[in-house]
């Protein structure tokens, strides 16, 4: 393999690994704000207990997110120097804004949140977690807008020298693609956070421990989780699908395994794409639904891969197809689980419904898988482009960088991140085992 | 506009060196000045609310560098590929050490992370010094606008590597200087034996740092006398070296008089004046080519379009001011001696 292929593998690995942490912390940040607001409104200490319990787990994940996030910004320069050189005047703006607007607020106020509860009082403590929440959600926005530029460039132009320049800051920072991608990403983060909180609540309930805490945690997480699961499908997922159909027909065709153009395209639920023979094997198809989902009409024509030049196909059609199907399939399952839990919660019988509690307990890994599959769909669907339609991936790599250097650093990241995994799991397990009820003050 | 961004970036990197510099310094000296677990917890608690925010200055400066001078960003980062990768791993290891150490009460667990924290902090200080050395010395940029540098000089290639005699000297300078800076911080923020030892160490390291600084400056001027004539031709630069000399003297006296806050402010002022003087001498060059001056990447040739830069400054400038406000707030909120109880949250 050449240096470009290795650089792609390295970036895919480091960013996928990194994003295991922010998806939880961004979702948890919202729930922590909810806990602290509820704590401020009443005398019940349960909300502060939950905020402290999840604050500790938040801190471990936040730390891991920070240390694994730093390499990414630098990898743009190290492995993708031509891309950086050409587009820095555009995406450098959003990356700089992320640092200046989001990271300062997040890191400084997280220090207040973790170290200052006694010293600074409840109001500043609530304000601190609010700032951490705003910072982390702003950070998500700047990254998604950066990605939106790569997926569907808008508000900028390429000069004769091949360098990109912003022509309309407003449209670059605020556009439909960026908005729906952001909404879809953030609801996914809330799903991950809600399932984590619900799983621990379900665990307490199944063990018959801390029942008041279990009930309170489940109430908040199931309501937030159901709302996020619904928003995930409609309107955010739906709108994003329509935008992909409009701006990236090759990606849509690969996602759906559509080789032939059809004006009554069906939605493939299952099946295996056979790229060599240009067909879907063992398909189970719901007729005409794809035409409707993509263009809002059961008779709309959906372009198949055969009508798109081979050079413009995503270079891994199979992986795009399966990643997309895994995302949609798991999204459906997650919605069903939360809907079931919400019905029981509404009827007041969730804490006694052991099978559903088991389901909640065991479901917490699924949002991570769904989110990873979703980003895999988006990023592999964007191929063979770095900036869709304007800059090909092979033209963005660093000149003169040998495969040996990239393999060396990739192996180094693998080793280091293996150690990070063991340590993070150890620490999260240790925090999960702690009681949410604080030990009596030893004065 | 390129000039404005050049100095905004220089200021951000300087803020980074001063702020993350003191927590690197604490890492460099803590094995020596903090002898037992209780004292090491105090040393870590002193940087607890800080280090993560300090590191953001590097990330924010990186983002601004990417935005304002993309061609220099691409060339610098792919040319210094391996040194940068190793730097990233050090940053990760160092963060892990700070985060993980307090989590488990076990003497071996803590001893291991103490060693990682010290080693990674010292290596990061050297890396920063070597990076500054490379920027001052120049790198082998060719007609393509890129370069590829080996890690060391004289290892099977004739070209200068990232680490040669001069950049090694700047690396050692940074190590000793940040050690003194961190020791002054600990003397200021802690009490008792720990503070006494930190003060004594700072007083020993301070003259060594100055000696290393003089050596590195002499080597620089000896390699390239043009630097000296540039300084002579830019009178607006003169207050900076004068300020550095004054800060060095005040720092020395403050350490002797146990005026710890003044000593810390002096070492901060020394770092600020020294780095801004370096930027002032280099301007407008960002990456000097050792191959041919025509290939040098400077604030004009590498800059993003002027209109975009102006918009960027209008958007980012106020936010940077707010960020400075956060740090003032942080200094006020955690003023006085460090409170360990708030840090050890278990």
Q: What average pLDDT does this structure show over A317-324?
A: 95
Residues of B in contact with A93 (CB under 8 A): 67, 308, 311-312, 315
Which among A89, A116, A420 is the nearest to B304, CB-wise?
Answer: A89
Domains of chain A, residue spans: 3-426
From the CB of residue A299, how many other CB atoms can be counted at a distance below 10 Å? 11
> How many Å apart are CA A130 and CA A10, to the nearest integer?
34
> How many Å apart are CA A381 and CA A318, to the nearest integer?
11
- pLDDT value at B344 more than 70: no
Tens digit of each residue's pLDDT (9 = 90 or more) over B56-105: 899 999 999 999 999 999 999 988 888 889 889 999 999 889 888 888 88
Q: What is the pLDDT of residue A441?
A: 57
Q: What is the pLDDT of residue A120?
A: 78
Q: What average pLDDT does this structure show over A416-421?
A: 93
Q: What is the pLDDT of residue A350?
A: 94
CB–CB contact A74 B88 (8 Å): yes
Helix intervals (H) in B34-149 = 37-47, 51-68, 70-79, 81-100, 107-137
Q: What average pLDDT does this structure show over A92-100?
A: 93
> How many Å apart are CA B155 and CA A223, to the nearest integer?
63
SS3 A65: helix
Report CA torsion sign: A161, A164, A166, A168.
positive
pLDDT category of residue A414 using cuts at 50, 70 and 90? very high
Q: Which residue has the higher pLDDT, A159 or B339?
A: A159
Which among B67, B95, B103 is the nearest to A89, CB-wise?
Answer: B67
CB–CB contact B60 A100 (8 Å): yes
Of A100, A57, A91, A89, the C-alpha closest to A72 is A91
Q: Which DSSP string corresponds to B115-145? A: HHHHHHHHHHHHHHHHHHHHHHH-B---TTS
Q: Tokens 């508000």 map to which residue?
A: A155
Tens digit of each residue's pLDDT (9 = 90 or more) over A226-275: 999 999 998 999 999 999 999 999 999 999 899 999 888 888 888 899 99
- pLDDT value at B155 more than 60: no
Q: Which of A388-392, B157-161, B314-318 has the lowest mean pLDDT?
A: B157-161
Q: Which residue has the higher pLDDT, A335 or B47?
A: A335
What lies within 8 Å, CB to CB, of A59 at 6+ separation is A110, A114
pLDDT category of residue B158 using cuts at 50, 70 and 90? low
SS3 A272: strand
Q: Give the chain A residue whose CA is nearest to the CA of B61.
A: A96
Q: Report which secondary-structure segment, H or E, holds A167.
A: none
pLDDT category of residue B342 using cuts at 50, 70 and 90? low
Q: What is the pLDDT of residue B288?
A: 87
Of B27, B54, B51, B179, the C-alpha closest to B114 is B27
Tell me the two tokens of residue A71: 């390499």
pLDDT category of residue A112 using cuts at 50, 70 and 90? confident
Residues of A in contact with B339 (CB under 8 A): 119
Q: What is the pLDDT of residue B151?
A: 78
The mean predicted confidence, pLDDT, of chain A is 92
Which among B52, B67, B104 is the nearest to A66, CB-wise?
Answer: B52
Which among B66, B305, B342 is the nearest to A76, CB-wise?
Answer: B66
Residues of B in contact with A405 (CB under 8 A): 81-82
CATH architecture assignment, domain B2-343: Up-down Bundle (1.20)
Dihedral angle, C-alpha A365, A366, A370, A371, nearest 10 °: -40
Q: What is the pLDDT of residue B346?
A: 45
Q: How far is B62 from chain A (nearest CA, A)?
A: 7
Q: What average pLDDT does this structure show over A382-394?
A: 95
Report the percentage of chain A scoring pLDDT > 90: 75
Tens digit of each residue's pLDDT (9 = 90 or more) over A173-183: 999 999 999 99
| E strands, A52-110, in order | none
Mutation choice for B interface testing from A104, A110, A113, A170 by most B CBs within 10 A: A104
Residues of A in contact with B345 (CB under 8 A): 56, 114-115
CB–CB contact B100 A423 (8 Å): yes
Tens digit of each residue's pLDDT (9 = 90 or more) over B6-51: 999 999 999 999 999 999 999 999 999 998 888 899 999 888 888 8
Which among A81, A85, A96 is the nearest to B63, CB-wise?
Answer: A96
Question: Treating both helix axes as pointing N-terminal to C-terminal, what angle do A22-41 and A176-207 enclose, rounded to 10 degrees?
Answer: 70
Q: How far is B237 from chain A (nearest CA, A)?
A: 28
Q: What average pLDDT does this structure show over B205-230?
A: 90
Q: Is B311 exposed, middle or buried (0-12, 13-18, 19+ CB in 10 A)?
A: middle
Cα dist from A76 to A15, A143, A258, A342, B147, whole Å: 12, 13, 33, 43, 16
Q: Give the chain B residue whose CA is nearest to the CA of A168.
A: B308
Q: What average pLDDT does this structure show over A79-96?
A: 93
Check: complex ipTM more than 0.90: no
Q: Is B283 exposed, middle or buried (0-12, 13-18, 19+ CB in 10 A)?
A: middle
């Amino acid at each position: 393999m050449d240096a470009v292929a290795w650089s792609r593998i390295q970036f895919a690995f480091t960013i996928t690994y990194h994003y295991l942490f922010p998806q939880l912390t961004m979702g948890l940040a919202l729930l922590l704000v909810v806990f602290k607001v509820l704590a401020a409104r009443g005398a019940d200490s349960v909300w502060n207990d939950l905020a402290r319990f999840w604050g500790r787990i938040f801190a471990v994940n936040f730390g891991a997110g920070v240390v694994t996030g730093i390499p990414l910004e630098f990898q743009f320069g190290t492995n993708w120097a031509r891309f950086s050189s050409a587009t820095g005047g555009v995406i450098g703006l959003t990356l700089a804004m992320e640092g200046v607007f989001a990271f300062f607020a997040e890191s400084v106020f997280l220090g207040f949140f973790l170290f200052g509860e006694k010293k600074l009082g409840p109001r500043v403590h609530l304000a601190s977690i609010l700032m951490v929440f705003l910072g982390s959600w702003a950070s998500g926005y700047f990254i998604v807008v950066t990605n939106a530029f790569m997926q569907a460039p808008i508000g900028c132009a390429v000069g004769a020298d091949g360098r990109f320049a912003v022509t309309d800051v407003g449209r670059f920072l605020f556009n439909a693609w960026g908005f729906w991608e952001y909404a879809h990403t953030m609801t996914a983060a809330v799903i991950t956070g809600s399932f984590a909180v619900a799983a621990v609540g379900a665990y307490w309930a199944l063990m018959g421990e801390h029942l008041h805490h279990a009930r309170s945690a489940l109430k908040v997480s199931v309501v937030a989780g159901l709302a996020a699961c619904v928003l995930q499908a409609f309107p955010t997922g739906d709108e994003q699908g329509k935008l992909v159909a409009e701006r990236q027909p090759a990606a849509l065709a690969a996602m759906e395994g559509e080789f032939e153009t059809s004006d009554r395209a069906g939605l493939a639920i299952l099946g295996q794409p056979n790229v060599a023979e240009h067909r879907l094997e063992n398909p189970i198809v719901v007729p005409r639904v794809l035409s409707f989902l993509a263009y809002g009409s059961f008779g709309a024509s959906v372009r198949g891969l055969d009508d798109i030049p081979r050079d413009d196909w995503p270079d891994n059609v199979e992986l795009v197809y399966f990643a997309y199907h895994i995302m949609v399939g798991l999204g459906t399952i997650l919605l069903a689980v939360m809907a079931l839990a919400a019905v029981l919660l509404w009827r007041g019988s969730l804490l006694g419904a052991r099978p559903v509690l088991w389901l909640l307990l065991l479901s917490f890994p699924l949002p991570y898988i769904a989110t990873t599959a979703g980003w895999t769909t988006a990023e592999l669907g964007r191929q063979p482009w770095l900036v869709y339609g304007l800059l090909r991936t092979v033209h963005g790599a660093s000149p003169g960088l040998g495969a040996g250097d990239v393999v060396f650093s990739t192996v180094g990241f693998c080793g280091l991140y293996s150690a990070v995994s063991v340590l993070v799991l150890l620490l999260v397990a240790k925090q999960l085992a702690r009681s949410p009820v604080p030990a009596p003050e030893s004065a | 506009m390129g000039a404005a961004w050049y100095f905004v970036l220089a200021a951000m990197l300087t803020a980074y060196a001063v702020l993350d510099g003191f927590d690197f310094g604490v890492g460099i000296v803590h094995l020596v000045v903090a002898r037992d677990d209780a004292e090491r917890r105090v040393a870590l608690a002193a940087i607890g609310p800080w280090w993560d925010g300090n590191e953001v200055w590097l990330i924010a400066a990186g983002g601004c560098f990417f935005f304002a001078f993309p061609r220099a960003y691409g060339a610098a980062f792919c040319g210094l590929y391996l040194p940068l990768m190793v730097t990233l791993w050090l940053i990760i290891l160092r963060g892990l050490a700070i985060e993980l150490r307090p989590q488990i009460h076990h003497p071996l667990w803590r001893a291991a992370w103490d060693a990682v924290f010290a080693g990674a902090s010292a290596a990061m200080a050297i890396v920063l010094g070597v990076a500054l050395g490379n920027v001052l010395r120049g790198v082998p940029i060719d007609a393509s606008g890129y370069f590829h540098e080996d890690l060391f000089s004289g290892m099977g290639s004739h070209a200068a590597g990232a680490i040669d005699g001069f950049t090694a000297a700047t690396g050692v300078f940074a190590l000793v200087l940040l050690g003194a800076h961190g020791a002054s911080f600990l003397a200021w923020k802690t009490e008792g034996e720990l503070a006494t030892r930190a003060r004594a160490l700072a007083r020993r390291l301070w003259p060594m740092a100055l000696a290393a600084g003089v050596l590195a400056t002499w080597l620089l001027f000896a390699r390239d006398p043009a630097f000296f004539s540039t300084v002579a031709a830019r009178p607006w630069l003169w207050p900076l070296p004068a300020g550095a000399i004054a800060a060095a003297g005040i720092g020395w006296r403050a350490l002797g008089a146990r005026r710890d806050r003044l000593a810390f402010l002096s070492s901060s002022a020394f770092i600020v004046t020294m780095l801004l003087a370096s930027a002032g001498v280099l301007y407008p060059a960002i990456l000097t080519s050792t191959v041919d001056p025509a290939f040098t990447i400077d604030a004009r040739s590498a800059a993003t379009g002027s209109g975009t830069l102006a918009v960027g400054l209008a958007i980012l400038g106020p936010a940077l001011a707010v960020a400075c406000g956060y740090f003032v707030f942080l200094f006020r909120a955690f003023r006085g001696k460090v409170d360990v109880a708030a840090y050890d949250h278990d």
